[in-house]
Structure formats: C-alpha cells, structure tokens
Structure 1
Amino acid sequence: MLKDLGQVGLWLSEQGLDATDLDEGRLKQHLSDLQEAGRRRVAGPRGMVPLLTFLREAGVVPAPQVTPSPAEVLLERYRCWMEVERGLSASTMLRYGNTARRFLAEQAMTDGKFVPEGLTGADLNAFLLRECARVSAGSAKGRVAELRSLLRFLHLHGVIAMKLGGAVPPVGGWRFAAVPPTMATEVQWLLDHTPREGTVGVRDYAILMLVARLGLRSIEVARLLLDDVDWRCGEIVVRGKGRREDRLPLPADVGEALVAYLSDPRPCLDARHMFLTCKAPHGPIRADLVGDVVERACRRAGLPKVGPHRLRHALAADMLRHGAGLTAIGQVLRHQDLATTALYAKVDFVALRAVAQPWPGTEAA
C-alpha cells in the first residue's frame, strides 16, 4: 500500500496536480494509465479505497461535497427524532433506520421521484408481504413495529396527512404456541471444549461463562466495562435493554474466568471496556462477536450451531429444574414482564406432567 501511495504521488506530479486534486475519478484515471503503460498487476478501484480514506481522514485530501437527497434528509430527521424524542439506543436506531430506508426506497418512489406524501395502506401491505415471505414470524413482528414508528414520525411532522400506523396489519404468531429450544448437558460440554490458553482462548472462555452462567445478552457483554465489576462485593453491573442497569452477584467461576483474561497484557491500555479485539485495530468488541464465539465453541465441541440466546434459555431451564421460581428466573434474566419469563415454564415437562389432565378416552399414566 505504501508503494501504491508513492505511485499515486509520482502520477500527480507528472500531471501537474496537487494532493488536494485527488478523488475517485483521478484515481481511476491513474489506474488506467498504469494498465496502458503495460503494468501487469494493477489494483482495482476498491483496492484504492483505504488509501483515499486515509488521506481524507488525515486532512490531505478534502472530503467530497455530496448533496444529500430528499430521502436522506428525511431519514436523518427520523434518526434525530428517535434519539431525542424516543430515547432509543444506537443499535435500535440503526435497525429502525434500515427498515425505513428500504421501505421508502421501495414504496415512496414514483417515476424516480421521492414522494412520501403519496404513501397508502396498500404500500404498507405490499412491503410487509414481501418481508414476511423471507423472514420469520418474530422478525416480521419487528418490521411491523419499525413501520409504525416511521409512520408515526411522518404524520407528526406533516409529511403524510393520514395516521397510517393503524393500517399496518398485525403479524400472527403466539408466544405460547411452541416450546422454546433449550440445551441441557450440552452447555457444560461446550465450556469443557473451549481452550483456556492464548489471548483469544482466554477471552472467549470468559465471554462464554458470562453468557452461560449469568444469561447476559450479546450487547450486554459488549457494553461491559472494567468498572462494572465490584470485586470486593462480588457483584457485576449489567447494562441491558432500555438503558437499564442491574446488579448481579458474580459467581466464583465467572470471576476466575475474568481474572484469567485480565491477567494477560491488554492490547489497548487506556480502553475501559472489558473485552477488546485481539487483532488490530484494537478496541471494544462488537455484539456480533459474541455470536461468533458461541459458534466457534459449538464447532469445536461437535454440537449443532446455536446462538448466544440459546445459552440464556438453557440457564433459565436449568434454574427451573433446580426448583427456582419464575420470579427469581426473571430477576436473573432481567425481564421486565413476568409473562416473558413464563415462556420458560413450558420446558419443565416433569412438573407439567404432574398437573396435566389425561386425554379424554385414555387412562391416566
């Protein structure tokens, strides 16, 4: 890449240009001139993107002057509304914004023009029918909530005259219709087959222990800070959904896994996040890395691939088998609604058989 940068500098000098004149078009012309000169190996336009990005971040090359489209202006207003008026988290705003962008691009364009004021209930149904054909019932319910949020914003800001939020049809899918998938002895098998040496192994094992023993969500693991662990009191602060903070007792085995991870030299000493990336650029991990850690652990243990939430279900099922009540399980999993915790009661088939009535016409077992 340094060699490519030097060639770009020589080409600019030959053309009588300055670094401030560099942009995507001139880089493409530079690559074309190299090919015409007989160079056998020439990078493509995508290969020059890191170079141009670095020069712009360093202030050597000015940023391109891009005029936002009407759709982008509206989406930015929607993002600000979600942040200021609704107080949504960054990940939720990203998800809502992606759905809004796709919906407006598909349904609010007429003959190449952006006309959101012409949206109708038929446009909502057409978009949802396409979405429901490719996603699960749970994801489709999310699309409904995301669309209603967008339509509420459009009506409040005078973009559309009608309250189209009521025209968004609900998605069929009942919470107690199926038994939630869970794991039993596989969780310990998963932990036993996770290596506990090396920077990556020690970090991944600590992440798995937090998910398996405390039921932390992926985003909660990523948000964890060094200051969130109270070693003297044996507690840990968890930053969950809706900017909620909870204090949980820190089990001894989880604390030992964290100590083993923190005992290794940290790649970024001034970072306050608990878990950092092991490869450059060093920084806090993202939430999706937790899913990658669980997937790698399943592959090593020879188990079917599952996500971090399956370990959360397994923790609830294990507590239920050992006699814990739904209130206690809800406190550990930090559920705001006890009905959410009630989903896990269906996995205790032994207790359910004790109260189940025999089917008419059959003898009681």
Structure 2
Amino acid sequence: MSRSDRSTRAMHQALPPALREAVDDFAEHLSRVRNRSTHTVRAYVTDLVSLFDHAVRMGCVDLAELDLSVLRSWLARQRTTGAARTSLARRAASARAFSAWAHRAGLLSADVGAALASPRAHRELPSVLRADQAAALVDGPTRRVRPTDAPPTDLPDTHGAPTNPARTGPAAGPTSGEAAVPLRDRVLLELLYATGVRVSEACGLDVGDVDHGRRVIRVFGKGGRERSVPYGVPAQRALDDWLRRGRPAMVGTHSGDALLLGARGGRLNPTTARQIVGAYAEAAGLPRTSPHGLRHSAATHLLEGGADLRAVQELLGHSSLSSTQIYTHVSVERLRAAYRQAHPRA
C-alpha cells in the first residue's frame, strides 16, 4: 500500500460514521452498478475522503450540511496547495458525481454539486511516432534490437503463479521458453499498434477473443463495454507464430485462456507490457514510448490515412467523440510542421 493510500485510509477512518458510510455506499454503487474499474473507484474515494475531511474541518459533520460553499471552499484549498488544473477538474467531477448520486438516493435534499464549476483542463497534444518509427518499434522483436538477447525481467504475472517446473528446461513446445519471449513481445507490439487498444485491454485478451477468420479481436473496455477491433496481416502472422510456437512453450498451470503470458505462465502483467514497449523503443533509438503512445500513434495514422472520425472513435472505444477529436489536432500539427519544413514561402 502506498503512502497516499495509507493517508486516505487514515482520513476515512477519522470521518464521522455518517460520512464514512456515504463514501462506502457510493464506492459500492460505482463498482456494482456503474461497473467502474478498481482504479476509478479508488480515485473517486480518494477525492471524496479529501472533500469530507475538509468539510469536517469547516464544521460540517452531517451529510445534510454539505452545500455548494463547502465544495467551492474545498476546490479553492486544493488550488492553493498547488493542485494542477487537470486534478482540480477531476476532483470537481468526483464531487458532482457524488452529489447527483446522493440526491437520487435521498441523502441530499438537492443536487448541490450541479452548479459546481471547475477549471477547464488543459489538454496537451499527445506525442506520436512517425509511421516508420512505429514500424521500427513493432519489428524490434523480429530484428532482435534489444540491447542484449536476454529476455526482459518480467514482473509477477497477474495471477502470481509459481514457476512451472516443467518449463525449467527446454519446453515441450516447438521452441524454448526463452526463445518464445520475442514471439510474445512481437504479438504484443503488433496488437497494440494494429488495433490501438489500451494495454489493460491487450493483457486481458483470451485466446477465444481472437477471430482469425475475420481478423478481429473482441475487447472489453472501460465499464465492461464490448467492441470488436480489426487487425492486419502482420498482426495475424505474429499471432499465428505465437500460438503455434510461442505460447505452448510458456503455458503453465495458471495460464488459463490468457492470450499473452508472463514469464511464470500467468496472464501478462500490464506493467510488464509497458516495460517491454519502453525497452524496445529505447533499443531502437526512438523517443520514450509507452503502450498509450502506440495507441495515440495508431489513431493519428488512421486519421491521416483517411479514416472516418466516428470509425476511429469506435475502434478506440471512446464513449465521447470529443476524446477522439484531439487526434485531428495532432494531424493538423504534423501537417503544419511538414509545410513549414518543405514550403519555400512557409
């Protein structure tokens, strides 16, 4: 448990029982009814505990006493302590979401957070790789561009499986466990760039989620929303190699149906996947790159190639078109840069 988590837990325990119960009930609503992820629920709880801690300091010990002035005072205090605009916007959204839920649940006589304004978060344009840079990164496992031929040191698998004794020597499959790692890395990089899926979505794929005939993967995104995402021929070749020669060498008793496996046979850990992407990018001499950077690059390259914005929204799993529109700005900026570099009167 991190220091911030311990601090949040301590403040939570110090809250009056009525406020503490409201936080717990809201967290259960987010998890069970809204089907939010564990990370999202934790962020909401952290914001609410901070809000109620501030409210108690102002003399508000009952939920019915929560009003707009308390919410505004809390945000003002966050700003004076150096919170970024994006953090303030998120915390205001947390307060509004709780207020709306509490009003519907009959805990508040009015939705006091409905009138709460928040600073508009400044959205920086994501950095993206050029098409040739993305190709060099994805081809890294094939060309062995790692600083050494040794596979990366994986974190514990998602299931924390013990090492499978059957895999300490040469694997029973067509290749050794160590030689299977580049095949795993290659299919991970191909899928991230070919589909633009989130790293958690890629690591959550099962073997049965791949439709080889239609070259489509079934993805479960945020909020449990399901979508189908196509992939190309290079990703299909990587999948075929991995499933035929790589996965059988790394599979263990805790593998289950997981498509991508970690060093100990369990489902590949997203943190390990981030390390894999970063290692290949560094070895290829590319800018610092993450799986989300590949997602940004895939979306930008799709739009530059003429893809419809709505289609890209569906591929990425964005619930709002505004989340996808940022990639149109990226394309315009790249166009401007090319113009300034090439045009004699730029």
Pick from 345, 362, 365: which aligns with 2:328? 345
Aligned to 2:258: 273
Q: Percent of aligned pairs with the same residue?
A: 25
Residue 226 of structure 1 and its aligned partner are, at CA, apart by 1.5
1:112-151 per-position Cα deviation (integer Å, ceiling 9, x unaligned): 9964444343432343345456555444332222221122
- Kept after mapping to 1: 8 A contact 2:194/2:231: no
Aligned residues: 286
Residue 237 of structure 1 and its aligned partner are, at CA, apart by 0.8
CA separation of 1:319 and 1:107: change in aligned 2, threshold 3 A: same
- Kept after mapping to 2: 8 A contact 1:202/1:257: yes
Q: Distance in 1 between matches of 2:49 and 2:185?
A: 35
- Higher-Rg member (1/2): 1
Q: Does 1:97 align with 2:28?
A: no
Q: Distance in 2 between matches of 1:294 and 1:270?
A: 22
Q: Distance in 2 between matches of 1:139 and 1:328?
A: 30
Q: Does 1:301 align with 2:284?
A: yes
CA separation of 1:109 and 1:69: change in aligned 2, threshold 3 A: closer
Residue 216 of structure 1 and its aligned partner are, at CA, apart by 0.5
Aligned to 1:166: 114
* One-letter identity of the residue aligned with 2:259: M
Q: Does 1:264 align with 2:249?
A: yes
Aligned to 1:223: 204
Q: Does 1:123 align with 2:70?
A: yes
- Kept after mapping to 2: 8 A contact 1:147/1:165: yes
* One-letter identity of the residue aligned with 1:329: V
Q: Does 1:245 align with 2:192?
A: no
1:17-42 per-position Cα deviation (integer Å, ceiling 9, x unaligned): xxxxxxxxxxxxxxxxxxxxxxxxxx
Q: Does 1:78 align with 2:61?
A: no
Aligned to 1:329: 312
Tell me the SS of whatever aligns to 1:271: coil
* One-letter identity of the residue aligned with 1:95: A
Residue 304 of structure 1 and its aligned partner are, at CA, apart by 3.5
Aligned to 1:186: 133
Residue 211 of structure 1 and its aligned partner are, at CA, apart by 1.3
CA separation of 1:349 and 1:89: change in aligned 2, threshold 3 A: closer
* One-letter identity of the residue aligned with 2:299: A
1:250-296 per-position Cα deviation (integer Å, ceiling 9, x unaligned): 322223333424242313355122233324xx633444443333333
Structure 1 unmatched ranges of 5 or more = 1-65, 357-363
Q: Which runs of 4+ in 1 moved over 6 A?
A: 350-353
Q: Distance in 1 between matches of 2:49 and 2:181?
A: 37
CA separation of 1:216 and 1:130: change in aligned 2, threshold 3 A: farther
Q: Distance in 2 between matches of 1:117 and 1:299?
A: 55
Residue 330 of structure 1 and its aligned partner are, at CA, apart by 3.0
Q: Does 1:234 align with 2:215?
A: yes
Residue 81 of structure 1 and its aligned partner are, at CA, apart by 1.9
* One-letter identity of the residue aligned with 1:304: P
- Kept after mapping to 2: 8 A contact 1:108/1:115: no
**Higher-RCO chain (CA-CA 8 Å, sequence separation at least 6):** 2
> How large is the Cα RMSD of the aligned pairs?
3.6
1:86-126 per-position Cα deviation (integer Å, ceiling 9, x unaligned): 3434443233223223333x324349996444434343234
Structure 2 unmatched ranges of 5 or more = 1-12, 152-177, 340-344
- Kept after mapping to 1: 8 A contact 2:100/2:114: no
- Kept after mapping to 2: 8 A contact 1:209/1:257: yes
CA separation of 1:87 and 1:193: change in aligned 2, threshold 3 A: closer
1:185-236 per-position Cα deviation (integer Å, ceiling 9, x unaligned): 3322323444496354433332222111110112211321111012233321
* One-letter identity of the residue aligned with 2:44: Y
- Kept after mapping to 1: 8 A contact 2:71/2:113: no
